[in-house]
Amino acid sequence: MWAFPILAVFAGAAISLQAGMNAQLGVLFKNPLLATAIAFLLACIFTLVFMVATNRHLPVASDFRAIPTYLWFGGILSAFGVGSYYYLIPKMGVSSLMSFALSGQLILAVIAGHFGWFEQPVKHITAKTIVGVIAMIVGIIFINGGTTDAR
């Protein structure tokens, strides 16, 4: 089914656009953390409105108690990642930042998939996977012209 990969490409494109926009917001406010807070506030409002409008089943207290404690910390990782993007984009440029960030995402995703972390489907690392990761790293070097000079 091609709908999911196509949606994933558009989601990635949206992240690149919003990261550049919100990084500029951080520059204008002279505070990338303020841009991060604004982005998360608006995202929270939009998500809550969309959830209430589309869900027929809202969680109850027992649903919250059943969630493992460690899963509540994903938001901290989101804030760190997004805040880092907004800080680094004005220094590196959006294409360099996104290429390096994508590298980190893919490398850790391959490892997480191999072990099935967080009850996700297992996808073992193969020789093809390793070649793909190496090709991606070489591509990142080409994308960045072999340098990582800060602005």
Q: Are residues 24 and 49 in the same domain?
A: yes
What pLDDT was estimated at residue 34? 95
CA distance 151 to 93: 8
Residues of the chain with pLDDT under 70: 146-151
* Range of the structural domain that residue 84 is part of: 1-92
Structure tokens at 33: 């953390």
Q: How many domains does the chain have?
A: 2
Q: Are residues 127 and 79 in the same domain?
A: no
Q: Are residues 88 and 98 in the same domain?
A: no
- Give pLDDT tens digits for 45-73: 999 999 989 987 888 999 999 999 999 99
